[in-house]
Amino acid sequence: MRMLCRAIVLSVAVSCVMTPTRIVLAQNSRALANDMIGQWELSTAERSKTCAVTLKADPVSQGLKLELEKGCAEALPFTRDIASWSVKGLDIVRLQDPKGQSVIDFTEVESGIFEGLRTGEGVYILQDLASARSLARSMDQMIGDWAMVRSNNRVICGLTLTNTEAGPDNFAAFLKPRCDSLVATFAPNAWRLERGELVLQSASGETWRFQADDNSQWRRVPDSPDPFIMMRQ
């Protein structure tokens, strides 16, 4: 009888310790679910293919209701399998099939930006639709001719960024004649915008990254005493 009493006391004690944690987890899960209700863009990592998704609070079989815009299946074929959405654990946003099995799971990597991986396909991004469309306008503004400049405003190369697709998630870039050997050796032939950075990529997969500075120019990172800047022509 004493052993039974001790077991009951221990069980109650454990329950008392765990209950607040469970409550916090449940509250966080509900908060995330509430935050997710609205319009989102599902896309490849660099937005070469996109799909608008509306997440709703209405319960359906195995999860919550969602709507995919017309054309999603053509842009992102795996979306054909998506029937609902849910929040799993503390921080996983799941797009799932009719049986509740994961089609793709997302976790937040930046404020309002979620990242998911499909094996054999790559990384996909889920972000607020309005923010994504603002990024699209930014990409449109990048298209055109640029000058590559070093210190003392010395132009060392010209570059044209286009909206022509160049492989998964990239767009074609073309160097102009008579470039500095540093740029000519690198020989970028593709570009993309990635989490606020401009990425130039060579045929070998090497990348240079640039961040916008206060003068609406793009400065290569990491910075150096002899800065490498891209200026719109």
pLDDT digits (tens, 9 = 90+) for 175-190: 999 999 999 999 999 9
pLDDT confidence of residue 136: 67
pLDDT reading at 16 higher than 70: no
pLDDT single digits (tens) 29-54:
788 889 999 999 999 987 778 899 99
Widest pairwise Cα distance in the chain: 92
State the CB neighbour count (10 A cutoff) for residue 165.
13
Report strand pairing: 171-175 vs 218-221.
unpaired
pLDDT reading at 216 higher than 70: no
pLDDT confidence of residue 142: 87
Q: Cβ(62)–Cβ(100) under 8 Å?
A: yes
Query: Which percentage of the chain shows pLDDT scores above 70?
Result: 85
Mark out the alpha helices in the chain (DSSP H runs).
2-36, 72-75, 129-142, 181-186
pLDDT confidence of residue 98: 95
